[in-house]
């Protein structure tokens, strides 16, 4: 049996290629739409994948001097033992005489050249010249043997293709290779209906991602002091303004803003603009001791948001200076490490590793609107066990920020991915 796959634009092209390669007796066993190769395949018009098969009949030529003992009728009317086989597959005729045992669509029959058998033309399957017994097709109760083999071959190849194609898709999402292997380790172990493999795989992987993220979200309640740290240029002050606006206007919370002003020019002016707009106090501190006193003065506030200058992850002196301010906070605080998703995965890993010195508790990812891959979110949470608190995807205040949960992160990873198009070749 030969099985071949064709990826074409339309069915007529597939039929032409099938006839050319396998001949007119080939049959189409499956067809479904797939995208083109590469990341662009998710967005380009779908192609058609057609699988065709050609059965190559087997013929066993055994010269028999007499009918086998197990096929000989013991007594009485042998017609009582007749079982009708299905129509035989076409077989190549032999040019010599004599009785021949041969395969007929998965069963066995006897033919004899030149003489009719039981009123049937010579060579018709299902008749035996000596006994008249029709032979039972082995496995008849389980369905056609040819169909069983084809379905097994197609099912196995589809399962392999499913894992390969989802692996390629996840790697293109910038998901770490080790995480990809973990997500796909038992893909296909769950039963599914034919034709729903891609959708079931999508749901399975999504559930695996949620399970992978959930342990990081088992933690203490939110703190009153929210401190924003991170490298330069990631949008800390803008992110602080988004969250401050959401807390003040949407949740009607009493808040205050604090700027740790050491050497960053213009930070105070930017924060003061947001404070004036919201009608909330803005404080500036130059030393850790000043920060401690300001927090005590605003003990009546529901939240105090602390903005810090950007620090390089490679500058130990800057990180130690930042740590001295954080240690001056005499109450529990959430330290948000603000990161940009436009940063390369390797650099992100280095930044998170270095900022762990100041014991960051949560992560905020910004600039989601400036990238097409979001696997770094999953990588960081998996590697460092810190939850992603918020996702920011634009300059709009406060609309362009949303709270992050395992389910929303899983959906983010598959943004723009059609499960039906993931079966790329």
Q: Which domains does the chain have, with CATH numbers?
A: 1-63+96-141 (no CATH), 214-421 (3.40.50.300)
Digit-coded pLDDT (tens) for 171-216: 988 999 999 999 988 776 554 444 456 678 888 899 999 999 999 9
Give phi and psi for 381, each to the nearest 5: -60, -40
pTM of the prediction?
A: 0.62
Task: State the Cα–Cα distance between residues 258 and 10, nearest whole angstrom.
Answer: 63
Give phi and psi for 351, each to the nearest 5: -65, -45
Sign of CA dihedral 389, 392, 398, 400: negative
Q: Angle 197-213/145-172 helices, nearest 10 degrees?
A: 40
Digit-coded pLDDT (tens) for 286-328: 899 999 999 999 999 999 999 998 888 888 888 888 999 999 9
**10-residue block means of pLDDT along the chain (425 residues)?**
81 86 82 62 68 67 44 44 43 40 40 44 46 42 50 52 84 92 77 56 90 87 90 90 91 93 65 86 91 93 93 86 90 94 92 91 93 92 93 81 93 71 46
Q: By the 8 A CB rule, do 261 and 270 touch? A: no
Give phi and psi for 310, each to the nearest 5: -65, 135
Burial status of residue 250 (CB atoms within 10 A of its CB: 0-12, 13-18, 19 or more) = exposed
């Amino acid at each position: 049996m030969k099985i071949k796959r064709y990826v074409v634009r339309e069915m007529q092209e597939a039929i032409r290629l099938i006839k050319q390669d396998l001949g007119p007796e080939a049959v189409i066993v499956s067809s479904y739409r797939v995208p083109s190769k590469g990341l662009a395949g998710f967005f380009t018009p779908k192609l058609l994948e057609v699988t065709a098969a050609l059965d190559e009949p087997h013929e066993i030529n055994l010269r028999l001097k007499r009918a086998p003992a197990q096929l000989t009728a013991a007594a009485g009317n042998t017609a009582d033992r007749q079982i009708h086989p299905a129509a035989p597959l076409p077989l190549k005729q032999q040019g010599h005489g004599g009785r021949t045992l041969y395969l007929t669509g998965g069963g066995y029959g006897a033919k004899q050249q030149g003489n009719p058998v039981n009123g049937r033309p010579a060579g018709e399957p299902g008749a035996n010249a000596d006994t008249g017994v029709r032979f039972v097709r082995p496995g008849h109760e389980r369905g056609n043997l040819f169909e069983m083999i084809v379905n097994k071959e197609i099912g196995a190849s589809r399962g392999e293709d499913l894992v390969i194609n989802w692996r390629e898709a996840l790697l293109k999402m910038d998901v770490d290779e080790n995480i990809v292997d973990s997500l796909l380790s038992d893909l296909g172990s769950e039963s599914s209906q034919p034709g729903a493999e891609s959708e079931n795989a999508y749901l399975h992987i999504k559930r695996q991602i949620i399970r992978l993220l959930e342990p990081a979200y088992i933690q203490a309640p939110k703190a009153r002091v929210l401190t924003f740290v991170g490298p330069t240029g990631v949008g800390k002050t803008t992110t602080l303004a988004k969250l401050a606006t959401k807390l003040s206007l949407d949740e009607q919370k009493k808040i205050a803003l604090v700027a740790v002003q050491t050497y960053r020019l213009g930070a105070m002016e930017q924060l003061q603009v947001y404070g004036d707009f919201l009608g909330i106090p803005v404080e500036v501190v130059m030393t850790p001791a000043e920060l401690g006193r300001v927090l005590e003065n605003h003990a009546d506030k529901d939240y105090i948001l602390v903005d810090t200058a950007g620090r390089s992850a490679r500058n130990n002196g800057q990180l130690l200076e930042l740590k001295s301010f954080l240690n001056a906070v005499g109450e529990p605080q959430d330290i948000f490490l603000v990161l940009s998703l436009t940063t390369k995965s390797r650099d992100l890993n280095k930044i998170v590793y270095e900022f762990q010195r100041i014991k960051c508790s949560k992560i905020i990812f910004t600039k989601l609107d400036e990238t097409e891959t979001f696997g770094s979110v999953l990588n960081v949470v998996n590697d460092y066990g810190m939850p992603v608190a918020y996702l920011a995807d634009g300059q709009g205040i406060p609309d362009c920020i949303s709270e992050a949960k395992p389910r929303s992160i899983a959906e983010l990873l598959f943004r723009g991915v059609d499960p039906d198009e993931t079966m790329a070749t």
